[in-house]
Chain A
Amino acid sequence: MSSASLNVEIRRIRELAPGIREFSLSRTDGEDFPVYSGGSHIVLSLPLGERPHRNPYSLLGDPTVRDTWRVAVRKQEESRGGSRWLHEQAREGMRIDISAPVNLFPLIRTGRRHILVAGGIGITPILSQARELARLGADFEVHYAYRGPEYGVFSDELEALAPGRVHHYVQSRREQIEFGSLLAGRPLGTHFYICGPAGMVAASMNAGKSLGWPESHLHSEQFLAPTGGEPFDVKLALSGKAFTVPSDLSLLEAIEQQGVDAPYLCRGGACGQCELEVLGAEGELIHHDLYLSADERASGKKIMPCVSRLKGGCLTLNL
């Protein structure tokens, strides 16, 4: 059910800023990578202990460079180990598996103008989008916000792509994006894309909606890391398995550990691919995803096992 995987070697690791590392990857079979579109991500399988740990990361390089793919990883202090492994254990020459690219954050090619906004490490999909727009000769601008001057890690690459069209907002200098003025008075046919912290994404979406922007022109991407939580019991009705999800595993990971093939794509609560049907829940479903609608959550019939859990007794799934 999962997408095809490629085996790659970590060719180069660059320290971009405190807590931000860039990895350059090449295929171990010597073949070229497939072409991908701006905004795509891949899922890295990281060898943490006896089980692989899978995290999504946006591809940030030039899609036409076929021998190397690049991802940038911020060390999450609250991490359950994925980003910490990449920061502390990963070495050049190591081999890992990655998924084929998936794009949940594509550009709308019919747009007349494109406003790209990145907050912190959210620059990674924005960078590949900017590259694609530059290649198409499209009308675009980039707004890049980060904590301090040393965190503007892709500023030079962006400036080279879009001279004069990159705007910087440095938090330590009290510079901030005012979404109300950024989105006001834009010509018909403008598209807005944002990747960044949840609060920033929500502020921009609210500003757009209050200015009458339709949903079809407001695009965002966020990946959530599974947060862990209290252990709970699971019964899989079709495969007849019963087990406990420990506090440091996601529901999806626990299902995979049982040898049951469950669908997934992004593993970050964004895409909807891993949706499972809830047959019974003794307790409260704790939804962390960005996919289910309020009505779907209220129905109690669906769960996204990559990030969501149960608080209480036993969860029965149609799997």
Chain B
Amino acid sequence: MSTPAIKSQPVYAELEWDRAGTHHILFVAAEDAALAQRLLSNPPAGTITLIHLGSASAEARSCWSQGLPDSALYLETHSLAEALEVLRDALYVAQMGTRIYLAGPEDAVWQASRVADGFGVGRDEVRYAQLGSKARPVFCVHCRTITRGVHTNIVSCSGCGRSLFVRDHFSRRLGAYMGFQIDAEVPGEVPAAEVVYP
């Protein structure tokens, strides 16, 4: 875990249970067998709700469904939209004492975070983990479109087509990194894009 050059860039600590909580909602959008094993082999007191985002075609059982305590509620979903809807339903009936854990690629994690924000939860009730793809959601500061799944340092905006440089400057509210036009000074002078967010 390195210290980011820009303060707004999220830093993810090792995911641990917050044992002060009385109900735990775990939202996972990527496989990580080691993390699943570590968390689920030492569960906290209180009930666990696990919302899993699997791929539509996955046949193998998710690592997150194995070793869950019998009292846990496991909810399988097959699209991010569905997973966010299930999260919203879970938060709607949740009570004070709930802790929320959001784990997966940043795009999914921060869209889920925004759902949680809508329920008035504080920063000390949510924990984050970055798992799976490092692809970035990129907010175009010119046309305000968010281009998702960006692996390269320069990307063509899905809204206005401008060539955007992907910054480390991150907005928690938008759940995206800022992208600005790279050839604003000399139109057409766009360096070759490199894959930097695998």
- Distance between Cα atoms of A142 and B20 in the complex (Å): 27
Q: Is the CB of B20 within 8 A of A214?
A: yes
- Of A120-128, A186-194, A262-270, the segment with at least 4 beta carbons within 8 Å of chain B is A186-194
Q: Is the CB of B124 within 8 A of A216?
A: yes
Q: Is the CB of B121 within 8 A of A189?
A: yes
- Of B6-14, B34-42, B90-98, the segment with at least 4 beta carbons within 8 Å of chain A is B90-98
Q: Is the CB of B124 within 8 A of A188?
A: no
Q: Is the CB of B22 within 8 A of A212?
A: yes
Main secondary structure of the interface of B (DSSP, over half): loop
The answer, among B20, B94, B123, for a CB contact under 8 Å with A188, is B94
Number of residue pairs across A and B with beta carbons under 8 Å?
53
CB proximity to A under 8 Å, residues B118-133: 119-125
Q: How far is the CB of B48 from chain A (nearest CB, A)?
A: 14
CB proximity to A under 8 Å, residues B81-108: 91, 94-99
> Residue-by-residue, is A183-215 near B (CB-CB < 8 Å gives 1, otherwise 0)?
101111111000000000000000001011111
- Distance between Cα atoms of A184 and B6 in the complex (Å): 40
Q: How far is the CB of B177 from chain A (nearest CB, A)?
A: 24
Q: How many residues of A contact B (CB 8 A)?
A: 20
A241 CB-CB contact with B under 8 Å: no
Main secondary structure of the interface of A (DSSP, over half): loop
Q: Is the CB of B96 within 8 A of A188?
A: yes
Q: How far is the CB of A258 from chain B (nearest CB, A)?
A: 42
B149 CB-CB contact with A under 8 Å: no
Q: Is the CB of B120 within 8 A of A211?
A: no
Smallest Cβ-Cβ distance to A191: which chain B residue: B120
- Distance between Cα atoms of A213 and B21 in the complex (Å): 8
Q: How far is the CB of B86 from chain A (nearest CB, A)?
A: 15
A300 CB-CB contact with B under 8 Å: no
A228 CB-CB contact with B under 8 Å: no
- Distance between Cα atoms of A184 and B176 in the complex (Å): 36
- Distance between Cα atoms of A268 and B94 in the complex (Å): 38
The answer, among A108, A211, A216, for a CB contact under 8 Å with B125, is A216
What A residues does B124 contact at CB under 8 A? 214-216
Q: Is the CB of A187 within 8 A of B125?
A: no
- Distance between Cα atoms of A186 and B94 in the complex (Å): 8
Q: How far is the CB of B2 from chain A (nearest CB, A)?
A: 28
Known pairs A212-B97, A216-B124, A216-B125 / 16 extra A-B pairs, C-beta < 8 Å = A110-B120, A185-B95, A186-B96, A188-B121, A189-B119, A190-B96, A190-B120, A211-B22, A211-B97, A212-B21, A212-B98, A213-B96, A214-B122, A214-B125, A216-B123, A217-B122
Binding site for A on B (CB under 8 A): 20-23, 46, 91, 94-99, 117, 119-125
Binding site for B on A (CB under 8 A): 108, 110-112, 183, 185-191, 209, 211-217
